[in-house]
Amino acid sequence: MTTKADVKKLYSKGKKKKFFIIFSFFLALIVTAVVSLSFGAASPRLGEALTVIFSKIFPFLNLGPVSSLTETIIWTIRLPRIVMALIAGAGLAAAGATMQGILRNPLASSYILGISSAAGFGAALAIVFGVSIATIGGFLIIGNAFVFCLLAMVVVYLIARMSGMSSESIILAGVAVGFLFSALLSLIQYIAPERNAVSAIVFWLMGGLYTTSWQNILICFPIVAVTMILMMSQAWNINVLSMGEDVAVSLGVNSKRVLSINMILETVATASIISFTGIIGFVDLIAPHIARMLVGTDYRYLIPCSALLGAFMLLGADTVGRLIMMPIEIPVGIITSLLGVPFFIYLLIRKRRRDFG
């Protein structure tokens, strides 16, 4: 016979376990970041790397001399890249987790709204037709990718609203809009006058973190941080919505409003990341699934756990991509997919077995 006290004890034990898992990932993340910082084509010692960082953050400390080459490698190239990997991984994974929740679909992520094709199209448009504006070239592409993501979201939102604003209508509208932009993207690649432009598009689409600068981070970090905090504030709503829209309403949640708010949050977070990095797949899809296996579906724990796991995976993949064929780098988008696909298939098979076995 299970008494009330037993149940409470079990529940608080489960809660402690979740905190422990989340804290462990946090520690793993710090270790990975430090390791990633001290390995690369030109490899300063770990001590030197840390000296650079601490003397940059606390200039008054006077920690001793470091060569300017080391300083450039660590501070201008490697650290921003690591920071961006953390931001991008966390943001994509958190957006993926919440999107799966509101759409009640384990295969969903913010990409299901068609925003990856839209970003690609926006970027391609800028690359092909704006390539001559060399001075602001970088931001032209980023800006265009971001704007087209938002445009895709607005179109999806309007279609979904006209067809009842349910999770099904959002998914179908997203798929349709995604196909549209992917056709337009192909069209641009087909008619592009220069071969260089086409390879630039392909390169952008692959996704990578090598071009990250502190300036990028200054724009990206606040957006991702704010949207993630707002996603966290939606945790209960998403929990309830996972049980169906009628149930959500009966529990006092305006399901249509929650769907709309989350669509906007997830799109803005994802768009602000992929505009800088190009399309990085699978972190958004897989990190939430692993996190769910570890801490369950309660979004109060799932969002932070997914974010930490996403950051860990993306940083890991980027580090592997940097080191595996030195000095040639493999774009992180390729590594995440190469590592992600087999794992994802494994999950699918396992889930089937559990559901029907």
Partner 1 sequence: MKLTINNLSFSYAGIPILKDIALNVELGELVSIVGPNGSGKSTLLKCVNRILKTGPNSILLDGKDASKFSTKELSKLMGYVPQTSISAFPFTVYDVVMMGRKPYVHWSVGEQDNEIVVQMMDLLGISHLAMRQFSALSGGEQQKVIIARALAQQPQILLLDEPTSSLDIKHQLDILCILKSLAKSKGHAVIVTLHDLNLASRFSDRLFMLKRGRVYATGTPEEVLTAQNIEEVYEIKTDVSHSITGKPVVTPIVEDINLLDPKMSALFEEKMGMQQ
Q: Where are the alpha helices (DSSP H) in the chain?
A: 4-38, 46-57, 68-71, 79-103, 115-129, 137-162, 167-191, 195-206, 214-233, 235-241, 245-250, 255-277, 283-295, 299-323, 332-356
In angstroms, rounded to a whole number, what is the distance separating the alpha carbons of residues 291 and 90?
A: 12
Binding mask 293-332 for partner 1 (x = CB under 8 A): ---xxx-x--------------------------------
In angstroms, rounded to a whole number, what is the distance separating the alpha carbons of residues 260 and 265?
A: 9
Query: Which of 240, 258, 274, 291 lies at the binding interface for partner 1 (CB under 8 A)?
Result: 240
Considering the complex, state which of residue 95 and residue 123 has its C-beta at the smaller distance from partner 1: 95
Structure tokens at 217: 């981070």
The yes or no reply on residue 1 touching partner 1 (CB under 8 A) is: yes
Q: Which stretch binds partner 1 (CB under 8 A): 5-13, 137-145, 186-194, 214-222?
A: 5-13
From the CB of 41, what's the least distance to partner 1, in Å? 42
Gap between the terminal Cα atoms of the chain: 29
Query: Which of 123, 235, 279, 309 lies at the binding interface for partner 1 (CB under 8 A)?
Result: 235
Query: Which of 24, 76, 215, 233 lies at the binding interface for partner 1 (CB under 8 A)?
Result: 233
From the CB of 159, what's the least distance to partner 1, in Å? 19
CB 272 within 8 A of CB 220: yes
CB 320 within 8 A of CB 336: no
The yes or no reply on residue 253 touching partner 1 (CB under 8 A) is: yes
From the CB of 10, what's the least distance to partner 1, in Å? 5
From the CB of 251, what's the least distance to partner 1, in Å? 5
In angstroms, rounded to a whole number, what is the distance separating the alpha carbons of residues 351 and 353?
A: 5
The yes or no reply on residue 161 touching partner 1 (CB under 8 A) is: no
The yes or no reply on residue 104 touching partner 1 (CB under 8 A) is: yes
In angstroms, rounded to a whole number, what is the distance separating the alpha carbons of residues 79 and 71?
A: 10
From the CB of 14, what's the least distance to partner 1, in Å? 7
The yes or no reply on residue 6 touching partner 1 (CB under 8 A) is: yes
In angstroms, rounded to a whole number, what is the distance separating the alpha carbons of residues 242 and 236?
A: 10
Query: Which of 47, 193, 222, 244 lies at the binding interface for partner 1 (CB under 8 A)?
Result: 244
The yes or no reply on residue 109 touching partner 1 (CB under 8 A) is: no
List the one residue out of 289, 282, 353, 291 whose CA is nearest residue 111.
Answer: 282
Three-state secondary-structure class, residue 67: coil
Instruction: Report the interface residues with partner 1, using CB under 8 A.
Output: 1-4, 6-8, 10-11, 14, 100-101, 104-106, 233, 235-236, 239-240, 242-244, 246-247, 249-254, 292, 296-298, 300
